[in-house]
Structure 1
Amino acid sequence: MTSTFATNYKQPMPIGGVNRVPLVTPGFWLIKLVAVTMGETAADFLAVNLGLGLASTTLLMTSILILALVWQFRQQRYVPTYYWIAVVLVSIVGTLITDNMTDALGIPLLTSAIGFTIALGATFALWFASERTLSIHEVFTFRREAFYWLAILLTFALGTASGDLIAEAFNVGFAATGILFGLIIASLALGYFAFGLDGIWAFWLCYIFTRPLGASFGDFLAQPPEFGGLGLGTTVTSIAFLAIIAGTIAVMSMRRTK
């Protein structure tokens, strides 16, 4: 099954430059899932536990994200430390965007989910119209990387809205929501490996759905039992996942230097 919107998902090297984003490996998905889990708990930790409030936390983390992306764009190639720091920060800011729309502006989660879906679709359409490809293996110009990070931000915001919609608004619960999205991701993987599902679309769909999977898992660990969680708290959960992220980045960086 092929698509005119995509190049070969298994393409190992970019054509025309040095790729600025990582290859998709099991390690990629591991750290991505951990990063989005931490993004959910860290946003709550900063806004609630530290008492910064939603608005101040959003301004603070957005400012830090902008600095991180400036540093990431300056690299001109994939450097694990800078790339994954940016992903963690995008995860936090994406969560905060949805939280602001829901809690501060009173926008229903269903409306947010639909809006982010339209915005993400428009981003992909503009990306393809401009570059004639959506390949994640050929992100070697400023414009392609800009489209890439915008798409990632929207996937986090959309994933947050979708996960909260099902877990809270539909009252499915954190654990059941995590299982649901885990099964969706498994079906996409099966479609790609066994039935020829287009690799680029499989990647982006999995990227979207790992957000609510990780967020549901993070909420399940952090939220108190009366809300369907294990009650570990956002502090313990955030620190634990931050340690996993730091360790994984260190391993990736050492492998690149060998």
Structure 2
Amino acid sequence: MERVDVTREHPARKVAEITLGFWLAKVVATTLGEVAGDAIAQTLNLGYVAGLAITLGLLAAFLVAQVRADRYRPFLFWATIVGTTTAGTEIADLSTHTLNLGYNVTSAILFGGMLLTLGIWYLRRGTCDVSAVVDRESELFFWGAVLFSNSLGTAFGDGLVYVFGLTYTTGSLVCMAVIGAVLLLHYVARINAAFIFWAAFVFTRPFGADFGNLLTKEAAKGGFGLNTFATALVCVLLLAGIVVCFERRQHLVDGRGRSPA
């Protein structure tokens, strides 16, 4: 097992700084992924198999570029996150609807895949901390865990509505409550930071999924019935704005923190 020296200012870091901006961008990216996935499979009526093929192709292109990049590049990183959320939507929907595995079985399979990925990552590298993603092997484990978590979040979020009978609004509120509880534990208990991160990462996905469904599903299903493509475009613009604002702020903070030459 090779342990990685985790340093926040490592010049080769490949993951965004975990700040408020990160979590805001993550929620918007998950909402965008849900809406875009539904637009491809349902609005365009291509089906989940074709939708999965398209989204996995796009994800593969983003992922290759991301892994080959020499350092963290904000728009490439977030495009890859959106790729995982969109493909995750198709993976979960194909499993639950086309393969008829249901929400509970699909969630269990995806949860097991995520735990296995994190477990192997920990055994190989000695940590699952995202600040240690500074080499190719750790980055591949990171993106594997991200894809599993975003697929899991879709299945879990849909399950809250279609299995437990919650509305899209109450489903989102439940996920917000869980995220709040996880963050509270971070401040009041000595819990591993990597566990806190991945727990919050998982539950921001069903929050975004249910919120996306709330915006675009027809009124008969409890949604607002907004156009999926227009909603996706708004999410793209909002995500870009968040990334630009918080990256500029981070550069200012880093600039003040450096000693004069």
Give me the TM-score of the superposition, normalised by structure 2: 0.90
Q: Choose from 71, 89, 94 the match for 1:77.
A: 71
Query: Is the CA contact 1:7–1:134 (under 8 Å) kept in the aligned structure 2?
Result: no
1:233 to 2:223 alignment: no
Instruction: Please report how far the alpha carbon of residue 220 of structure 1 lies from its aligned counterpart in structure 2 after TM superposition.
Output: 0.9
Amino acid at match of 1:12: R
Q: Write the distance in 2 (CA, Å) between the matches of 1:251 and 1:175.
A: 28
Greater shift, 214-223 or 227-236, is seen at 227-236
Which residue number corresponds to residue 118 of structure 1? 112
Instruction: Please report how far the alpha carbon of residue 155 of structure 1 lies from its aligned counterpart in structure 2 after TM superposition.
Output: 0.2
1:20 to 2:21 alignment: no
Q: Write the distance in 2 (CA, Å) between the matches of 1:233 and 1:176.
A: 22
Residue segments in structure 2 that go unaligned for 5+ positions in a row: 253-261
Which residue number corresponds to residue 139 of structure 1? 133
From the superposition, tell whether residues 233 and 169 of structure 1 become closer, same or farther in structure 2 (CA, over 3 Å). Answer: farther
From the superposition, tell whether residues 56 and 41 of structure 1 become closer, same or farther in structure 2 (CA, over 3 Å). Answer: same
Query: Is the CA contact 1:163–1:177 (under 8 Å) kept in the aligned structure 2?
Result: yes
Q: Write the distance in 2 (CA, Å) between the matches of 1:165 and 1:7.
A: 37
Could you say what the CA RMSD is over the residues aligned between the two structures, in angstroms? 2.0
Q: Secondary structure at the match of 1:137?
A: helix
Q: Write the distance in 2 (CA, Å) between the matches of 1:153 and 1:178.
A: 20
Q: Write the distance in 1 (CA, Å) between the matches of 2:189 and 2:114.
A: 25
Q: Write the distance in 1 (CA, Å) between the matches of 2:176 and 2:100.
A: 29
Q: Write the distance in 2 (CA, Å) between the matches of 1:85 and 1:34.
A: 12
Alignment coverage as a number of residue pairs: 250
Counterpart mapping for 1:81-160 below 5 A = 81-160=75-154
Residue segments in structure 1 that go unaligned for 5+ positions in a row: 1-5
Which residue number corresponds to residue 186 of structure 1? 180
Q: Choose from 46, 50, 71 the match for 1:52.
A: 46
Q: Secondary structure at the match of 1:125?
A: helix
From the superposition, tell whether residues 112 and 252 of structure 1 become closer, same or farther in structure 2 (CA, over 3 Å). Answer: same
Q: Choose from 24, 28, 31 the match for 1:30.
A: 24
Give me the TM-score of the superposition, normalised by structure 1: 0.91
Q: Percent identity?
A: 29
Greater shift, 86-95 or 191-200, is seen at 191-200
Query: Is the CA contact 2:4–2:126 (under 8 Å) kept in the aligned structure 1?
Result: no
Query: Is the CA contact 1:181–1:209 (under 8 Å) kept in the aligned structure 2?
Result: yes
